[in-house]
Amino acid sequence: MSIVLGDNRYGKAENQIVRITKEGPVHRIKDLTVSVALSGDLDATHLTGDNSGVLPTDTMKNTCFAFAQRHGAVEIEEYALLLARHFVDSQPSIGHARVAVEEHAWERIGEGPHSFARTGGGTRTCTVHYDGTDVWVVSGLKDLTVLNSTDSEFRGFVKDEYTTLAEAHDRILATDIHAQWRHSGASGESIESGDWGKSYERARNALLEAFVRTHSRSLQQTLFEMGTRVLQECPELCEVRLNLPNKHHFLYDTAPFGLDNPNETFIAADRPYGLIEGDVRRDDAPDAGPAWT
């Protein structure tokens, strides 16, 4: 029997970068979590301890901060592309870079030019892969909590000897949206000249519009409608992946207190929870390559 080295990568994870852009007394804030992973001709460091091809992870960290300072408050996809290209094109031993960025939103407090409050409207995300020739860009968001107080039901499901769940004809539907969407091109200007900010806003709005307008017979149905709406509204995208935990709300029994509860007071249960996951894509979507890796 012989033992061989399999796939491997290394990098610097969760660099916390805050970049303030100062336009006179008016400031803007860019709050990022940046993770870098590199792979390539790195067998020697694993097999013999030869580090001659290893770019230190501390250098990766410094590069992330230097690029934030040099390039300013660009869109996170553009920033990730700049980093990925730099690491691959400047290092002979590196053949592939994955750069993942999360952007944490802040909003101004009143009319204060430099005062901000952290928002709860979800976290914008992106992941970029670059192999020296092609790029793959996946944008998205996570932790966007939404709720419909009606227009949701769940009935007609399989029942066996272990089923105790009653059918619901009018229920609360709540979830934390975790969504990622893949841009269509694998290389060339079609991706890199994209208006990332406008594309993100269109996709986010499409997710929310579908959630609002769908009379849900299951969270699975809602998932498909959300993904479909994104692809209809965003021709630059070819695939949407959704992860939707079902944030259960159960009607609370107020009868012991002599009170009627006509579907108005609920207990929110945080676990266990149903987890609905799905992939919605165009039938002519190009090969995903390493985009989801």
- Residue 253 tokens, joined: 């029994």
Contact by Cβ (8 Å): 24, 89 = no
Q: Among 88, 70, 77, 71, which residue's Cα sits nearest to residue 34?
A: 77
Say whether pLDDT at 73 is over 60: yes
3-state secondary structure 231-289: HHHCCCEEEEEEEEEECCEEECCCHHHCCCCCCCCEEECCCCCEEEEEEEECCCCCCCC
The strand pairing partners of 154, in sequence order, are 168
Instruction: Clarify whether 119 is annotated catalytic.
Output: no
C-beta separation of 153 from 169 below 8 A: yes
pLDDT for residue 192: 57
Give yes or no: 129 in active site: no
CA distance 71 to 34: 15
Give the three-state DSSP class for 227: helix
Catalytic residue among 12, 129, 183, 247: 12
At residue 122, the pLDDT reads 95
Instruction: Decide if 135 contacts 119 (C-beta within 8 A).
Output: no
- Indicate the average pLDDT of the chain: 95
278-293 pLDDT, tens digit each: 999 999 999 999 999 9
275 class by beta-carbon count within 10 Å (0-12 exposed, 13-18 middle, 19+ buried): exposed
pLDDT of residue 120: 87
194 has a pLDDT exceeding 70: no
Give the residue-averaged pLDDT of 39-46.
Answer: 97
Helices (H) and strands (E) counted in the chain, each on its own, are: 6, 12
Pick the catalytic residue from 33, 45, 57, 228: 57
215 assigned to active site:
no
pTM value is 0.94
122-153 pLDDT, tens digit each: 999 999 999 999 999 999 999 999 999 999 99
Q: How far apart are alpha carbons 153 and 159 in whole angstroms?
A: 16
